[in-house]
Structure 1
Amino acid sequence: MTEANFPVWVWFAIALGSVIIVGLAFYAGRLLAQLKAQNQRRDQALAKRNENLHESIVTIAKAMEQRQCPLSEGALRLVVLLDLRVESTQAGYAKKYPSLHDMYERIKHMPTHEARKQYPKAEIRKMDNEREGYEKELENVILQDVRQLLKDFA
């Protein structure tokens, strides 16, 4: 059977199949372009978020280094902010800054803000004394971690 002997319906089916294939290819191309644009927007948003986190981390670390922020409060904030960074799982911040994480682990159970108001003053005083004791105990090593963090984030 030669090309000239194909019935009309075969030529019609080939043409229809070609149109469908071209249409699907066009649709797939549009979907890929949309996906690429979506990924770019996501990457830009993550970069902006990391930039804001970076700025906050540096600001808190500088405040701790200059004694404008209590070490315990700074450690709480820094550990949370470091954990929010995109690369936090691969970066191993707990190993890089062990004293900050140690302080965090010691005081994370203590209530803050409005939750503190629900406790009797004697209980709050007891927790504050405990926290301040940890600050005195870990002061030098926390400040070493803070200085290292500032070097790493410079």
Structure 2
Amino acid sequence: MSDLSWWAWLVIAAAVLIVAVLAFIAGRLLSRLRAQNEQRDKAIEKRNERLHESIVTIAKSMDQGQCPLSEGALRLVVLLDLRVEPGKPDYAQRYTGLHTMYERIKHMPTHEARKKYPKAEIRKLDDEREGYEKELADVILADVRQLLKDFS
């Protein structure tokens, strides 16, 4: 009988040791996960701050007539899309003018891509874009002013 109880105590001790080691490992992993989550949250916060700064700067320049409405709309829609927020607002619904302009011109070439098109085609696209700017100017500027209120 003493042999059996000795083995039983040995098995119980081994089981307790295994559980303790596993608990220690789980604790360390949870600690690492918490640290990674904090680091990720700080990085997201820092990124959102930079995006916020850019959004406000572009919106101000559009409001002051220093940035073409079409260019500003393209940039703002992309920057708003890049924000990481819990319960992210529907910016397309909130700033319909900006998104309407974006949807109408997002297919148009920019920067280096423009150089690949014939000048006549570029002129035609520029005329189309400028027409949209005139058509949507009031709505876009109202959106820009609302955006500045929302982000200040």
**TM-score when scaled to structure 1?**
0.94
The residue correspondences of 1:48-59 to structure 2 (distance < 5 A) are 48-59=46-57
The residue correspondences of 1:3-152 to structure 2 (distance < 5 A) are 7-87=5-85, 90-152=88-150
Indicate the percent of aligned positions where both proteins have the same amino acid.
70
> What are the Cα deviations for residues 1-42 of structure 1, in whole angstroms up to 9, with x where unaligned?
9xx895211111111111111111011000000000000000
Amino acid at match of 1:24: L
RMSD value over aligned CA atoms? 1.6
Query: How far did residue 87 of structure 1 move?
Result: 2.6
Gaps of 5+ in 2: none
Q: Is the 8 Å Cα contact of residues 103 and 134 (structure 1) preserved in structure 2? A: yes
Amino acid at match of 2:52: H
How far apart are the structure 1 equivalents of 2:5 and 2:147? 77
How far apart are the structure 1 equivalents of 2:77 and 2:146? 14
Query: How far did residue 142 of structure 1 move?
Result: 0.4
Gaps of 5+ in 1: none
Distance 1:134 1:88, change over 3 A: farther
Q: Is the 8 Å Cα contact of residues 72 and 131 (structure 1) preserved in structure 2? A: yes
**TM-score when scaled to structure 2?**
0.95
> What are the Cα deviations for residues 73-93 of structure 1, in whole angstroms up to 9, with x where unaligned?
000000000000113873000
Amino acid at match of 2:124: K
Distance 1:89 1:125, change over 3 A: farther
